[in-house]
Chains A and B, each alone.
Chain A
Amino acid sequence: MLSMNAIILVVIGVVFVSLGYVFYSRFIAEKIYRLDPNYETPAYTKRDNVDYIPTDRVVLWGHHFTTVAGAAPIIGPAIALIWGWLPAFIWVVVGTMFFAGVHDFGALWASVRNEGKSIGSLTGEVVSIRARNLFMIVIFLLLLMVNAVFAVSISNALVATPSSVIPTWSAIAVALVIGVLIYKMHVPILWPTIVGTAILYAVIWVGDQVPIEITGTFMGLSAGPQWILILFGYAAVASLLPVWLLLQPRDYINGIQLFIGLGLLYAAVIFASPEITAPAYNSEATGIGAPPIVPLLFVTIACGAISGFHGLVASGTTSKQLDKEPDARFVGYLGSLGEGLLAIATIVVVSAGLGSSEEWRAVYSEFGIHGIDTFTRGGANIVAGGLGLPVEFAATLLTVMAVLFAGTTMDSGVRIQRMIIQEWGTIYKLPFMQNHYLATLLAVGSCLVLAFGAGGSDGQGGMLIWPLFGTTNQLLAGITLLVISIILVKLKRPSRYTLVPMLFVTTMSFLAGLIQLRGFYENEQYTLLVFDLAIIVAAVMVMFEGFSAFNREKTSTV
């Protein structure tokens, strides 16, 4: 079997996504979305210096990119490599160029052109109120999935790499100190940043020397589920603290780690030039329990190809801060490009860093057991080989990075979930749901049900929830693309550039939902079965609403 150097993959990936930005995004910006530098964005028309405030496009891009980039472009490809590296690679590159770029960019543009409204509100206006209510439910389900799946991923990573326990939790202490220094004591940003980052890396070295494992059981739960409980306890507290104290500095450190991590990985791959030992297409995949590649590949890799979550972020805060309309191309499209780069890096390290072909097959012997620690193992070998760091240190470093990415998503996820529950309390006039603490309890409780329903009290099979997360995420992306398509039809512009991705993504997530339904039934995972059913029903209803709205606009003579 011809063996290929990983650098080829890196070059092809980077070149193609860059071409996508230079040519395809320009085409979409000029011909389809028709960005106008003189259009007065909501940051100006509704300026209140609270939510609506014009912001520099580099800052906005940084915020958008670091918010959406999480552990998903790491975990997704790590799982999807079971089908071989080629399908994952093609999906990431094509997805980033033609699907994610258009989706993130479009959500931002649609929101900016509509007074900065979120995609949820837009769905109500453009499709129907029923669709908007369904959309809110899908968002809640997605947040549930995100929190549960990341909790399971993090706990698996902490169990697999005990040296990462101290650094991971010390990052919280570092964040708290930075938060107080910058917000309360008005220290300029440079020194806390440098010293904080240095301390983080020093603590990674400490963690290497002092690995921590949870031994024994607590209320019948083994180490993994105990970590899950601890994580949700932490997320609950984090979501209730003032944002300047923990969430803001955490997100900041996270952003810095993201850039350092990307730089480290790509530099390591370039210096190490490892050979790819994974098969391009793994014909033994079905034999080892992997579900069919179509449709499951497309929901296993969501972030890094296309993800509905990004549209939420784009239309949630970013659109309200956009200075000029042409910035939307830079912020939206380039943001999804960054995710794609992280996913490509993961594909490379997992296909080239796990030793010989036989060793790779030993790691990829079963479906649904991969995640952060697979990435860590492959990455540590390459980083050690390429940059000369000791393997254990590199492994701890990469684990801490990935866990921090997932952790900050969990923090924000629980906080947003709490806010949605409180909003429902307001809409449906249920005062008890508006209480901060009760809403947090409800949010965390529902996530725990899902996390334990997925993993079981023995913590096995936890990552089988990942494709369900992908399914929900893609469904959200499909709805967003549908809304953008309907807006384009109303403007009498070509809608096929958003409609084709929308049809593809929705069909795949619907089929994936159905296939997983059977799997959950056969494995008697009834909690997951119920959630899957809820998602499928929501998908069908939204699609009906959407197509009727689409036809309405197409045939309207107004």
Chain B
Amino acid sequence: MYLADEFYKAPYRGAIAREKRDQDDLFMLLVFSELMGVPNPASYYTLELQPVLLEQFHDWHTRMGMEKSPLDDFRCC
């Protein structure tokens, strides 16, 4: 059963995970939008999420090819 399950999932796992990653990245960038100068009407709520998304932000900028965090006020590494 495990094999059949894997047989179904494995071929497109990457494509689906990549789509999810892109969507998560978009959400993360929205949470940090104020730091990038984009006005955020929900900043009261997204402020709470910033420390939670710190790891993801670091992964994101590394993936984009930026060695250090691009935001001066936000040092993750």
> Which of chain A's residues has its CB closest to B4's CB?
A189
Report the minimal beta-carbon distance from A54 to chain B, rounded to whole angstroms. 11
Contact (Cβ within 8 A) B18 A63: no
Q: In the bound complex, do residue B3 and residue A63 qualify as a contact, i.e. CB atoms below 8 Å apart?
A: no
Chain A contacts of B18 at CB under 8 A? 50-51
Cβ of A335 under 8 Å from chain B: no
A58: Cβ under 8 A from any B Cβ: yes
- Is B44 located at the chain interface by the 8 A CB criterion? no
Considering the chains assembled together, what is the distance between the CA atoms of A317 and B11 in angstroms? 8
Closest CB-CB distance, B58 to chain A, in whole Å? Answer: 14
Instruction: Say yes or no for A371: interface residue by CB 8 A criterion.
Output: no
Whether A222 is near chain B, meaning CB under 8 Å from some CB there, is: no
Interchain CA distance A213-B7 in the complex, whole Å? 36
Give how many B residues have a beta carbon under 8 Å from the other chain's beta carbons.
18
Asked if residues A49 and B4 are in contact (CB atoms below 8 Å), the reply is: no
Q: Which residue of B lies closest to A247 (CB)?
A: B12
Q: B10 touches which one: A60, A182, A189, A244 (CB < 8 A)?
A: A60
What residue in chain A is nearest B13 (Cβ atoms)? Answer: A53
Smallest CB separation, B8 vs chain A (Å): 5
CB distance from B62 to the nearest CB of A (A): 11
Q: Establish whether residues A59 and B13, one from each chain, have CB atoms under 8 Å apart when the complex forms.
A: no
Q: Is A15 in contact with chain B by the CB < 8 A criterion?
A: no
Is B68 at the interface (CB under 8 A from chain A)? no
Asked if A193 and B4 sit within 8 Å, CB to CB, the answer is yes
A-B contact count (CB 8 A): 58
Q: Does B1 reach chain A (CB closer than 8 Å)?
A: yes
Q: In whole angstroms, how far apart are the Cα atoms of A217 and B13 in the complex?
A: 43
A242 to B10 Cα, complex, angstroms = 16
Given A58-B3, A189-B1, answer yes or no on A182-B8 (Cβ-Cβ < 8 Å): yes
Given contacts A49-B17, A255-B7, contact A190 B1 (CB under 8 A): yes
Beta-carbon nearest neighbor of A415 in chain B: B15
- A458 interfacial contact with B, CB 8 Å: no
Collect the chain A residues with CB atoms within 8 Å of residue B1's CB.
Answer: 188-190
Say whether B6 contacts A248, CB under 8 Å: no
Q: Which residue of B lies closest to A183 (CB)?
A: B16
Distance of A48 from chain B, by nearest CB (Å): 8
Residues 181-202 of A at the B interface (beta carbon under 8 Å): 182, 188-190, 193
A425 at the interface (CB under 8 A from B): no
Binary flags per residue of A323-336, CB closer than 8 Å to B gives 1, else 0: 00000000000000
**B3 / chain A contacts, CB cutoff of 8 Å:** 56, 58-59
Contact A248 B12 (CB under 8 A): yes
Chain A residues lying within 8 Å of B6, measured Cβ to Cβ, are 55-56, 59
Task: Report whether B4 and A251 are in contact in the complex, using a CB–CB cutoff of 8 Å.
Answer: no
Tell me whether A251 and B17 are in contact in the complex, defined as CB-CB below 8 angstroms, given that A58-B3, A190-B4, A193-B4 are known contacts. Answer: no
In the assembled complex, the Cα of A183 lies from the Cα of B61 at a distance in Å of: 30
**A53–B10 Cα gap in the complex (Å)?**
9
Partner of A51, one of B7, B8, B14, B19: B14
Closest chain-B Cβ to A332's Cβ sits at a distance in Å of: 16
Q: Is A67 an interface residue (CB 8 A)?
A: yes
Chain B 10-42 interface residues, beta-carbon cutoff 8 Å to A: 10-19, 21
Q: List 11 A-B contacts (CB under 8 A).
A: A49-B17, A50-B14, A56-B3, A60-B10, A63-B10, A188-B1, A189-B4, A243-B15, A252-B7, A252-B8, A321-B10
Q: Which residues of B are at the interface with A, using a C-beta cutoff of 8 A?
A: 1, 3-8, 10-19, 21
